[in-house]
Structure formats: C-alpha cells, structure tokens
Amino acid sequence: MRVLVSGGGGFIGSHLVDRLLLRDDCTELLVVDNFWTGRRSNLSHITDKRVRILETDVERLADVGLFDEIYHLASPASPPWYMEEPLRTVRANVIGVLRLLEALRPNGLIGFTSTSEVYGDPLVSPQPESYRGSVDCTGPRSSYDESKRCSEAILFESRRVSGTQIKVVRLFNVFGPRTRPDDGRAVSNFISQALRGKPITVYGNGLQTRSWGYVDDIIDGLARFFWLQPTDYPGPLNVGNDREISVIDVARYVQSRFPKTPIVHLPPAPQDPTNRRPDLTIANRELPGWACQVPYEEGIDRAIAWFSKNEELRSASHDD
Ligand code: UDP
C-alpha cells in the first residue's frame, strides 16, 4: 500500500503521518512538503524506513508513480501566511489537488482537509455541512477560502464523472504541539507571547468566537474518517470541537497561566469571522465513538508545556 501525504511536514500533516505509521498495511509513505509553513523538525523523530520525504511544491510533483491513498494537506492555514502569498496558496490547493488526482491509482482514495472557512462569516450557528456560507470571493481571505472551495468542487466533480473515491473534511480551528510559534494563530501567538514576556495581542474586542480543537482529537477524527471507519460517505464532514469559546476567554486563560502578562487589544483582523462552531450531526453518524476529549484549558496547558520545552531547544540549536 503506497500512501502519500502532501503537507506532511506541517502541524496537522506531521501528526497524520505519525498515525499512518501505526498501520501495518502502509508499506511506503511519501511525505511531500516544500517546508514553506511546514518544518523538517516536525518529522525529525521519524526513523521508520517506510517514510521518504520529498521537498517540492505539491503542484510540481513529478515522477513519483501511483498511490493507493493520498491525503492532501499542503497549504498554509494561518491568515498572515496565506495573505502574504495568496497565489502560492491557490496553487498549493487547486493545482495541487489536480496534480494529486493524476497520481492516484484507479480505485485509490484521496482525502482532503478543507476548512470551516468555506462558511465565511456564518449567519447560522452551528454550521451544518449543508450551509453554503457567507463568503467574499474577492476579500482578503479569498485565496484560502476560495481555493479550498474550488478543491472541494474538483474532488466532488471527479467523483461524479469518474467515480473517484474521495473523503473531504472541513476542519475547524486546531491547536497544539508543532504549531509554529510564528504561525500567527491565536493560541500559538498567545502562548509564545506569554513565554517571551510580551503582551497577549487580542485583535478587536475579542468577543469573536471559534471552536478550538486539540490536535490529538482532530487527528483521531481524521484517522477514523479516512481509513478506520468503513463509510461510503464522501463528505463534506465537519471535524472540530463544538465547544465555542471567545478569543478573549482564550487570552484570559493563557494569562491565568502567566499572571504578569498583560492583554492588549489591536485592530481587528481583516474580515475576521464573528463566530464559528461545527454542527457535528453528520460526524456523530459517520464516526460513532468519536468525540473531542481534550477541553481547551487542558489542551492549552499541554501546548504551553510543549512550547516551553521545544521552542527553547530549537532556539538553542537554531533549528529551522
Ligand atoms: N487572533 C487574535 N490575536 C492573535 C491571533 C488571532 O485575537 O494574535 C484572533 C483572530 O482575529 C480570530 C481568532 O483569534 O478572531 C482566531 O484566529 P486564528 O488566526 O487562530 O484562526 P482563524 O482566523 O483562521 O479562525
């Protein structure tokens, strides 16, 4: 069984690679990453001989043969990163998925991590998969949102006309070990700011909400959907924690762990969605037994422990 993970050097991708390596039927695992937002150090613990790492843009992938399973995660996911290089973001998602379809063996399976950003600034809460979103196709987030939407369209059309086996997941906010400290997301920013003795930066009044999923719970959902649970459902499937928490509450929680750290308010991020919460009705139907187990408080404590240990080591060794 040949398996390919694009974005396998990233935060979520590298955790997915770890889970795939628990499978005996996976005899070859190709990790494709250009290490733009991913990091080699996310894979440095892997000694398994089945793994090969190929440093390339996914859309330029060449001469790798055909694969039984492909998981397409290659894309920046943090607003400052994708806003900095929007066309590169579109290429990774859209041309990336077209390229990966060509590398799929007949009857192979392609899994894709789409995003809750397809719901835009939602007018319904929680958001079921049937909600078509309140989105701006020319706005500052469009390179990410629209390329994820287009990739979903490509996969569903490929399924319709060619019978391709697809599994499309819409991820809500994910946090935990292996997020870059300079990723720019709320939880990683708050923790790395507090660890450096800098103020915690809340954009706007902080009343905007997200549903924060700890990475282990989210990977568990992905593994169940992609290969553990026998289901013909192609998606889209919301995967996330449905406990909705405001940004200011997350900031205050991190502050409670670093009591001398002030919270400062900065201008709101451009077109920042006001709320986000997954409707998990379909996930509960398709993934019986799956539920997020780690509350955000415990997840943040674990992330703080990881950041304190690893980022110190990293800066000492000047690792990527
Ligand atoms: N956010 C914030 N301070 C930061 C980084 C993010 O207040 O330093 C806010 C951001 O404006 C948004 C929420 O936290 O309302 C989640 O942002 P993140 O970038 O983590 O995820 P996304 O916007 O993609 O949901």
Per-residue HEC secondary structure of the chain comes to CEEEEECCCCHHHHHHHHHHCCCCCCCEEEEEECCCCCCHHHHCCCCCCCEEEEECCHHHCCCCCCEEEEEECCCCCCHHHHHHCHHHHHHHHHHHHHHHHHCEEEEEEEEEEEEHHHHECCCCCCECCCCCCECCCCCCCHHHHHHHHHHHHHHHHHHHHHCCEEEEEEECCEECCCCCCCCCCHHHHHHHHHHCCCCEEEECCCCCEEECEEHHHHHHHHHHHHHHCCCCCCCCEEECCCCEEEHHHHHHHHHHHCCCCCEEEECCCCCCCCCCCECCHHHHHHCCCCCCCCCHHHHHHHHHHHHHHHHHHHHHHCCC
Please confirm, yes or no, whether 203 is among the known catalytic residues.
no
Per residue in 119-163, pLDDT (tens digit) is 999 999 999 999 999 999 999 999 999 999 999 999 999 999 999
Ligand 1: residues with CB < 6 A are 78-79, 173, 185-186, 189, 201-203, 208, 210, 247, 269, 272
Residue 162 C-alpha to ligand 1 middle, in angstroms? 39
Active site residue: 119, 144, 214, 296, which one?
144
Going residue by residue through the chain, which has 320 residues, state the pLDDT in tens, using 9 for 90 and above: 999 999 999 999 999 999 999 999 999 999 999 999 999 999 999 999 999 999 999 999 999 999 999 999 999 999 999 999 999 999 999 999 999 999 999 999 999 999 999 999 999 999 999 999 999 999 999 999 999 999 999 999 999 999 999 999 999 999 999 999 999 999 999 999 999 999 999 999 999 999 999 999 999 999 999 999 989 999 999 999 999 999 999 999 999 999 999 999 999 999 999 999 999 999 999 999 999 999 999 999 999 999 999 876 566 554 45
ipTM: 0.99
For the whole prediction, is pTM greater than 0.80? Answer: yes
Ligand 1 atom with the smallest distance to the CA of 173 is 25
Testing ligand 1's pocket by substitution, the residue of 127, 172, 247 carrying the most ligand atoms inside 8 A of its CB is 247
